[in-house]
């Protein structure tokens, strides 16, 4: 009787490793990563402010672009000391022009607390389309408790 479990005197132990299960697992992982990778890079990366936060240290040597939204929903862009009212299209054009000259320019968003969340998201989406990879949010430190 010869079968898969037959231990005849003539057969030697097999010295090869079966890598087919390993390849199957790797292909499944590859498919999972291919599906999830685009989902991770769709949104704009921001760090939401917490009650206590430290200032950003790596922008001290570079002049940031600050885009503001006031309590009435008007947009402003400031580069250096000049702050000008702008529409979303103008902000997009100005940010594209600035990033063409200096691609490492940080972009920060300062929004009034009474502005609807959707308006800030609309601004951040406009910045993402303009080519901004990372957007920082400006917040005030909490009042000191006495």
The rounded distance, in Å, linking the Cα atoms of 67 and 22 is 51
Contact by Cβ (8 Å): 64, 105: yes
Tell me the average pLDDT across 38-65.
55
Contact by Cβ (8 Å): 47, 61: no
Q: What is the pLDDT of residue 4?
A: 58
- In this predicted structure, the answer to whether residue 56 has a pLDDT above a threshold of 70 is no
Among 37-41, 43-47, 89-93, whose mean pLDDT is lowest? 43-47
Contact by Cβ (8 Å): 69, 120: yes
pLDDT band at 50 (very low <50, low <70, confident <90, very high): very low
- In this predicted structure, the answer to whether residue 143 has a pLDDT above a threshold of 80 is no
Tell whether pTM > 0.75: no
Q: Which of 10-14, 133-137, 138-142 has the highest mean pLDDT?
A: 133-137
| CATH number belonging to the domain at 65-137, selected among 3.30.420.270, 3.20.20.70, 3.30.230.10, 1.10.3720.10 | 3.30.420.270
Q: What is the pLDDT of residue 60?
A: 57
- In this predicted structure, the answer to whether residue 106 has a pLDDT above a threshold of 60 is yes
Return mean pLDDT, the chain.
Answer: 77
Among 55-59, 60-64, 91-95, whose mean pLDDT is lowest? 55-59
Q: Could you tell me if residue 37 is left (phi over 0), alpha (psi between -120 and 50 degrees) or otherwise beta?
A: alpha
Q: What is the pLDDT of residue 31?
A: 93
pLDDT band at 24 (very low <50, low <70, confident <90, very high): very high
């Amino acid at each position: 009787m010869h079968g898969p479990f037959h231990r005849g005197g003539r057969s030697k132990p097999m010295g090869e490793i079966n890598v087919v299960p390993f390849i199957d697992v790797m292909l499944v992982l590859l498919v999972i990563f291919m599906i999830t990778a685009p989902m991770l890079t769709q949104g704009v990366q921001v760090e939401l402010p917490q009650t206590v936060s430290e200032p950003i240290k790596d922008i001290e040597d570079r002049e940031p672009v600050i885009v503001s939204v006031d309590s009435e929903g008007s947009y402003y862009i400031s580069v250096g000391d000049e702050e000008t009212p702008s529409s979303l299209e103008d902000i997009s054009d100005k940010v594209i022009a600035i990033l063409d000259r200096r691609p490492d320019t940080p972009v920060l968003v300062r929004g009034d607390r009474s502005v609807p969340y959707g308006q800030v998201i609309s601004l951040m989406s406009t910045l993402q389309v303009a080519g901004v990879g990372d957007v920082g949010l400006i917040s005030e430190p909490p009042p000191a408790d006495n």
